[in-house]
Chain A
Amino acid sequence: MIAIATQTRVQSLPEEIENLFREHSKFIYRTAFRVTGNGEDAEDVLQSLFVRIMRRELPADFNRNPRAYLYRAAVNLSLNVVRSRARRVSAETLTDVEDPSFHERSRGDMEIDERMRQALGELSAKAAEILILRHVHGYSDVEIAKFLGTSRGTIAVSLFRSRARLRKSIRAFLGGKS
């Protein structure tokens, strides 16, 4: 019962996934890079997301708005990375943070940046999504509202509150240090 056929080379992903990747990967990567602050974690987030897609571990309404889903998942995964790092890194040094620009700055700055990322992780998922759309991707209130399917007023309030929270968090951090 032997039967054999030629091997097929896989040069690209299945078409629909290839298309999703082409369309959204940079958006996701940039989101993840800015939230996690380093390329390795960002690559992991991007890869995990697409592995999930390839395994069809997707919500039923994924196709209705893939970009919104992917964005939300990217933010959540990235924040998870940041949060887990908080636990792990607290006792260690921060030298594994790989943003090259970090090397030119003092360690104190790095600590503050990392503290800011942790503060991002303490925001609600929705608030973080809104904040990142604004500050990483430069979306306007109206664009964010449209993207997330909510009202413009909600966006403005959320952004205002998030910034206040970040300030409060950093104030607590500085207070605790000095």
Chain B
Amino acid sequence: MKSQTGNPRQIVDQFLGKMAEPLSDEHGDGAVKDVHQRLLIEDAHVLSFALATDPQPVRTHVWSAIAAGVLVMLAGGMLHLVLQRSSGVEIVAKPVSGEIQTVGSRATFPGYSGIEDGKVLRAGNDGGTIALLDGSKIEMSASAELSINREAKGFRVRLTSGTVLVTAAKQHDGHLYVETKDCVVSVTGTVFAVSTEESGSRVSVLEGEVQVHHGEISQTLMAGQQATTSPELRPLSTEPAMAWAIERVALVQQPAQQAPQTTNATTGSVVRGIVKGTNGAGIPDVSVTLCPNFTQVRIEPAQEKQPLVPFDDTVRVDGPIVRNKTHFFAIWGNCVLSTVVTDSMGHFEFSNVAPGEYAVRAQREGFSGPTDIPLVPGESSVAGGNSNGIVRYFNGWAVASSSLQPIGDSTRVTVHAQQVSQDISLSLVRAGVISGTVRDADGKPVANARIRIIGSPAPGAVRIERQTFLTTTTNDLGAYRAFWLAPGEYRVVAEGPRSGTYWVARPVTAADGSPVVVLREGEEVSNIDVVLRPGADDQVLPNPRR
């Protein structure tokens, strides 16, 4: 009080003067870069598949489409198409370039019109390009003919003549099928060409992998491989008709290898297993997903702090969480997945799995992953406050998000070539619910208040944004219900609906008898009520468990 000049005017002037000082590099560029790194991870999360606890799958989808490199221009077109659909005609695609014609009609499509479900299209002499509603791009060779049908889960392109080069958008809950008279190609996101001729069909994969079904036989084709349904067809690389496709994409990095004929092909192994609950019984209807070539982030114990490098890199952190263990995380947002569903006994099976390293995930609505994942929120190093912010971020994500999933021995599988089968066992626990009501100081329910369910440790931490597990809003009665939460400890934070006021209910720490909600398997903890007061310290009303 005395060291600084006691005159209020001088104090204010000095303070304001200091505000104008430039920031040091450490506090300028460096910090901004750190934030950018974290946003990249956030982005990977946004990219990821909708998981049980993700409240906004639609938004996720839109963003992933953009991030996957689909032309932003297309977004406008898609909006246009969606609007048209309300007129009763099912629009499935949109011409992008070249001359595209409906068979039987003379007029070509103007660029702004939509292509209807089931109509047979033919490309002009220079070929043409269309965009499917899901963002996939189909380039048609000269005079290629096809029709597009919308199906419950995705689109089916029926190629009746010519060649198409398909750049498939990442498929979320559906598939894109390209069908010829004698084979079906199913994809979730890749670049490939299909051509059909009298003697048979040919599928060539330029990037990624596709699954080809020919009669009873299924085969996985990798980049650079091709398959034909007839030995008479020549390899793609010597086929002049396909030169346009190859040139255009320039993605064939290795000479095309002749894949085994589909008629006698079984290239991969079988991966089978069971998903069990805590009582040991199999759980039906679980989506089991294999992620090939997953990117992994390794966290190693270390003394020194080092900034997080998001992909493929080792992260060194200090704090109690890592001790002498190394943890692996798969970043799910970065691989396109193959999924099967468990049967009534909880069994599942993947056939034709190519050799390699896979991460495995089991998901079902209302269930969550095993609780023995290495970084549970309760062990977070947040409270230490001496880390550079990354660990906290990481911790929140390790459990909060599908994009960064810890991989243990049970969720990691190596498929060896020539190995017939491999058995794995996964476990799930029933998820729980936290519910309650948000009221203002007068006891009136607050509608549209934003509720955040936060990992519980970190007493007093302000940086709640990083550990948010789930957000939801209150209904007209002020009630909220946060569901599909993994067992664990949580805090509940409410924020008022009015922008500008930014009411925050900040629960006091556990030591003060505060509401850390302990959620056990399959349980609903209700009456976690919040009172919002603008600008004041708010509190969460009694927690029945404390």
B445 on interface, CB distance cutoff 8 Å: no
CB proximity of B71 to chain A, nearest CB, Å: 11
A64 on interface, CB distance cutoff 8 Å: no
CB proximity of B338 to chain A, nearest CB, Å: 4
A30 on interface, CB distance cutoff 8 Å: yes
CA distance A79 to B23 in the complex (A): 19
Taken residue by residue from 5 to 34, chain A's Cβ proximity to chain B (1 for < 8 Å, 0 otherwise) reads as 111111111111100010001100110011
Taken residue by residue from 448 to 491, chain B's Cβ proximity to chain A (1 for < 8 Å, 0 otherwise) reads as 00000000000010110110000000000000000000000000
CA distance A100 to B23 in the complex (A): 11
B351 touches A111 (CB 8 A): no
Question: With contacts A116-B12, A116-B15 known, is A9 near B35, CB below 8 A?
Answer: no
When the two chains form the complex, which single residue of B1, B27, B39 contacts A50, counting CB atoms closer than 8 Å?
Answer: B39
CA distance A106 to B293 in the complex (A): 55
CA distance A111 to B3 in the complex (A): 11
CA distance A167 to B15 in the complex (A): 11
A50 touches B20 (CB 8 A): no
A109 touches B32 (CB 8 A): no
CB proximity of A99 to chain B, nearest CB, Å: 8
Q: Which residues of B contact A16 (CB under 8 A)?
A: 72
CA distance A112 to B16 in the complex (A): 12
CA distance A29 to B190 in the complex (A): 39
A84 touches B462 (CB 8 A): yes
The residue among B42, B351, B500 with the most chain A CB atoms within 10 A of its own CB is B42
CA distance A76 to B500 in the complex (A): 8
Q: Which residues of A contact B8 (CB under 8 A)?
A: 167-168, 170-171, 174
B9 on interface, CB distance cutoff 8 Å: yes
CA distance A29 to B352 in the complex (A): 51
B66 on interface, CB distance cutoff 8 Å: yes
B285 on interface, CB distance cutoff 8 Å: no
CB proximity of B215 to chain A, nearest CB, Å: 16
B186 on interface, CB distance cutoff 8 Å: yes
Number of chain B interface residues as a range:
35 or more
CB proximity of A78 to chain B, nearest CB, Å: 12
Residues 1 to 52 of chain B near chain A (Cβ within 8 Å): 1-4, 6, 8-9, 11-12, 15-20, 23-24, 26-29, 31-32, 34-36, 38-40, 42-44, 46-47
B188 touches A5 (CB 8 A): yes
When the two chains form the complex, which single residue of A59, A76, A135 contacts B19, counting CB atoms closer than 8 Å?
Answer: A135
Taken residue by residue from 162 to 180, chain B's Cβ proximity to chain A (1 for < 8 Å, 0 otherwise) reads as 0000001010000100000
A125 on interface, CB distance cutoff 8 Å: yes
CB proximity of B11 to chain A, nearest CB, Å: 5
A109 touches B3 (CB 8 A): yes
CA distance A82 to B354 in the complex (A): 55
Question: With contacts A7-B334, A87-B537 known, is A44 near B463, CB below 8 A?
Answer: yes
B389 touches A4 (CB 8 A): no
CB-based nearest A residue for B509: A88
CB proximity of A151 to chain B, nearest CB, Å: 22
A1 on interface, CB distance cutoff 8 Å: yes
CA distance A84 to B43 in the complex (A): 28
A135 touches B20 (CB 8 A): yes
Q: Which residues of B contact A161 (CB under 8 A)?
A: none
CA distance A2 to B1 in the complex (A): 71
When the two chains form the complex, which single residue of B16, B19, B189 contacts A5, counting CB atoms closer than 8 Å?
Answer: B189
CB proximity of A176 to chain B, nearest CB, Å: 10
Taken residue by residue from 47 to 77, chain A's Cβ proximity to chain B (1 for < 8 Å, 0 otherwise) reads as 1101100111001000000000000000010
Give residues in A with beta carbon < 8 Å to B: 1-17, 21, 25-26, 29-30, 33-34, 39-44, 46-48, 50-51, 54-56, 59, 76, 80-81, 83-85, 87-88, 96, 100, 105-106, 108-109, 111-113, 116, 125, 131-132, 135-136, 138, 163, 166-168, 170-171, 174, 177-178
Q: A33-B31, A105-B3 are in contact. List 16 more A-B contacts (CB 8 A).
A: A3-B187, A3-B220, A4-B220, A4-B338, A6-B190, A8-B68, A9-B311, A10-B311, A21-B36, A39-B31, A43-B389, A46-B35, A47-B39, A50-B35, A84-B462, A170-B11
